[in-house]
Structure 1
């Protein structure tokens, strides 16, 4: 087909690969069944490097919007509003079904289905709500304190907890309290979903450098209204913020009037030591804690929580009350039921044991392939450094051809074209079942052997 009309804007700060993927996804001229130009042809037409177009195609392939046919090209299978075409059955596809090794998915294999059903039945036994609560279900807020906060050193009361739909949504709620156009610092590389949620509120994002220990506090520029960070397990590089940096961040927040958004997306998952104390326990007057059950249970529940300084919490409640905004209590009831029966504690213990074993499988595979890994013994992902973005793109493309989807650091930076931006793979191990993980790691190890270590 001819090249679809794509206009790139290099002044926005949005990565070019993200712009290319978005333009293809939304183009009214792209129809289901169309074959797209090759990455090389499109790169030439747009005046960008092939790395940009290859990354855009990788993203669309991973989303299921594109389908690669070996020796033929990339075909559109998910264009909105297009006339459907006949699809091959899985047995007829020219490539194996994908095994997803990207981070972010929960480990559903260890979620006991009997526990799941019992929790939903218990939640359904509660009478329907006749009114709504801006703060959330009381039993859920108690469960958050008992199971997620007290073990982390945060002396919170259930009244301090607000229910949310997740960490990104909670960050966006807080950002809307800031003056319009406020400058908000985000880790780079960092969690792009939260960054985009913040950008969507009108905040101006300021990239903040991270290293192997997390956020480099000394390099945070002056004049920010807030800083969003992942101190317990930096996403995606995997470091833990040292005590001295934690103290320095809280002191700067107090001195400069900063609000610190602590994204504790997987803080319960540690395999070497007990879960780390929360930054909010050190600076409850300047830190907003954001948590979620999507990594330790499932995104199906749509459940998260927020603990903020009293003034911030009161403003959030006022906005929710004025606008009728409130998180759904259905998922909150399920979590509360799991906690009440002891099932939540048992699940967290099973989950930690399983993910610890899987982490060692991943590390053994990477080391056997002649590479090394970055990241603490925590969470459900690690980083495999590579020499440059070209190797990152190549490894991801070859793995995808063999049915394995793996993430790259380039997708998690606000400055993918910067020569200082690190290159590497971000490998997750929670989503597939153990058998699929083993098959996927075998492919990943073979592909890694074809490139030098970073």
Structure 2
């Protein structure tokens, strides 16, 4: 039996689910020699008591380690660490990050639907891009054909007349663009106000650029503009479909945000990560159309196509764009041309527009399936009728942790708000995505998730 002093600890406020932390801790202990083959592990109930977590968390961790071959259950005598752990070539290469989605049905947020991509159009675009001569030097603004495609796309699908009084740059995605903006425009320690809960990769990019983050709460109408600090030099928000809560910022609050920016001189960064995916009504005017001099508009192909391309766009006042270009020249960075060339070809052939039409037909049906199944379990669901995820609110952090662990034990990955906070956790629940899975797998996965969520809510009510 292992000693009472376990060779690892868990972080209750960490971004990794508790069950994954327990599994990772035992896995590291085995590879480091702190635990040895043949060691008998505590029962799930005993280990849960030692760690101060629910038994469901430990059971889910044990189930994962059983599946990976680390544990061996002997009837009537307990659970033992296997004498020979599964071979890991990377053991000699330092600590390894465990994939939280390994072997699970993915109901996480922020993933695209690759099933709707037309394989013939995809291959055709890559072939056409490969026919181009290799580049000698990059245009740090981005490929001309790609930027022209972005201008047309924004005009047709988002109502933004980019290119007239503004500059359009290719980016490596929204988080990369956020980092470039902070690095090129902020002094070290400059304040960036950011939604909380919100998009943590953008938060990480701001931090890496030396910014000081101030988390600002969100409500059913998005970012609380009335709580913005006057010291903010930048305000990062997702007004079309707040990530991960799913709220849509109404017109009055958009005007309030623009007025704040004009009064304080702050720059608003509008992340329109899935603005093309709206099903109920026409979208509200973009912030960038209200104040092109104070708003930087960001978009990405990662949610409407695939992260394979690794590109997005930035629309900003020319002075802002020039600062970003100067930063790129200084650092030698710029987005990769290959993905830009593929998107330009998709747009040129009309395949991009056809793909978006397919998405707008497919996503509402998936959303309806999710709402029906979660509703059957009596679960509350929030979020605007848009995008590719919904929000299931929960009452406490414990409910959220238990729900994630219970779903994982059923083979389903759920995305809790624990990983979406900048400051202390104040909102709890699940951001449930419905785009990543094939249509044939989605009903079963949502059924398992709904059952797990309902049980946790009932147990802890």
Q: Which bin holds the TM-score, normalised by the shorter protein?
A: 0.7 to 0.9
1:29 is displaced (CA, Å) by 6.2
Partner of 1:162: 169
Unaligned runs of 5+ in 1: 9-13, 85-95
Deviations 1:246-296 (A, max 9, x none): 111111111111011111110000010123321111111111111100011
1:444 to 432, 441, 449: 449
Q: How does 1:323-362 map to 2 (within 5 A)?
A: 323-362=331-370
Provide the rounded CA distance (Å) in 2 between the counterparts of 1:80 and 1:290.
Answer: 40
* Partners of 2:360 and 2:202 in 1: CA distance: 25
Matches of residues 268-279 of structure 1 in structure 2 within 5 Å?
Answer: 268-279=276-287
Structure 1 residue 97 displacement after superposition: 4.2
Change (3 A) 1:223 1:54: farther
What is the alpha-carbon distance in structure 2 between the residues aligned to residue 447 and residue 233 of structure 1? 26
Change (3 A) 1:132 1:364: same
**Higher mean Cα deviation, 65-74 or 276-285?**
65-74
Question: Is the alpha carbon distance of 1:348 and 1:162 closer, same or farther for their aligned partners in structure 2, counting shifts above 3 Å?
Answer: same
Q: Distance in 2 between matches of 1:358 and 1:305?
A: 28
SS at match of 2:423: coil
Task: Give the structure 2 partner of residue 232 of structure 1.
Answer: 240
What is the aligned partner in structure 1 of residue 31 from structure 2?
Answer: 31
Q: Secondary structure at the match of 1:289?
A: strand
Equivalence for 1:289: 297
TM-superposed deviation, 1:325:
1.2
Q: TM-score, normalised by structure 1?
A: 0.84
Is the contact between residue 269 and residue 275 of structure 1 (CA under 8 Å) also seen in structure 2?
A: no
Once the two structures are TM-superposed, the CA of residue 367 in structure 1 deviates from its matched residue by 0.6
Q: Does 1:172 align with 2:179?
A: yes
State the number of aligned residues.
430
Confirm or deny that 1:140 pairs with 2:158. Answer: no
Q: 1:67 to 1:127 in 2, by over 3 A?
A: farther
Task: Give, in angstroms, the shift of residue 229 of structure 1.
Answer: 0.4
Residue 230 (structure 2) pairs with residue 222 (structure 1): yes
Corresponding residue number in structure 1 for 2:267: 259
Task: Kindly state the Cα deviation for residue 7 of structure 1 after the two structures are TM-superposed.
Answer: 9.9
CA RMSD between the two structures: 3.6
How far apart, in 1, do the equivalents of 2:153 and 2:14 lie? 42
- How much has 1:65 moved relative to structure 2? 9.8
Aligned ranges 1:299-448 → 2 under 5 Å: 299-416=307-424, 418=425, 421-448=426-453
1:31–1:83 CA contact under 8 A, matched in 2: no
* Aligned partner of residue 455 in structure 2, secondary structure: coil
The 1:195/1:100 distance shift into structure 2, 3 A limit, reads same
Other structure's SS at 1:449 match: helix
* Aligned 8 A contact 2:183 2:327 in 1: no
**1:38 and 1:74 in contact (8 A); partners too:** no
Residue in structure 1 matched with residue 91 of structure 2 by the alignment: 82
Higher mean alpha-carbon deviation, 99-108 vs 321-330, is at 321-330
Distance 1:448-1:310 versus aligned 2 partners, 3 A rule: same
2-side partners of 1:302 and 1:184: how far apart? 25
Matches of 2:214 and 2:221 in 1, distance apart?
19
The aligned counterpart of 2:98 is: none
Assess, with a 3 A threshold, how the Cα gap between structure 1 residues 363 and 78 changes in structure 2: closer, same or farther.
farther
Structure with the greater alpha carbon radius of gyration: 2
Contact kept, 8 Å, 1:383 with 1:424, in 2: the verdict is yes
Do the aligned residues in 2 keep the contact of 1:164 with 1:327 (CA within 8 Å)? Answer: yes
Show the 5 A alignment for 1:23-102. Answer: 31=31, 50=53, 72=79, 81-82=90-91, 97-102=103-108
Question: Matched residue of 1:267: which SS?
Answer: coil
CA distance in 1, matches of 2:30, 2:210: 30
CA distance in 2, matches of 1:167, 1:308: 13
Where 2:268 maps in the other structure, the secondary structure is strand
User: 1:134 is paired with a residue of what secondary structure?
Assistant: coil
Deviation (angstroms), 1:354: 0.5
Aligned partners of 2:368 and 2:432: how far apart in 1? Answer: 12
Residues in 1 aligned to 2:88 and 2:214: alpha-carbon distance in whole angstroms? 33
* Counterparts in 2 of 1:151 and 1:351: CA distance versus 1, 3 Å: closer
Deviation of 1:194 after TM superposition, in Å, equals 1.1
Return the offset for 1:83.
Answer: 6.1
Residue 247 of structure 2 corresponds to residue 242 of structure 1: no
Alpha-carbon separation, structure 2, partners of 1:442 and 1:68: 29
Change (3 A) 1:351 1:67: farther
In 2 relative to 1, CA 17–279 (structure 1 residues): closer, same or farther, beyond 3 Å?
closer
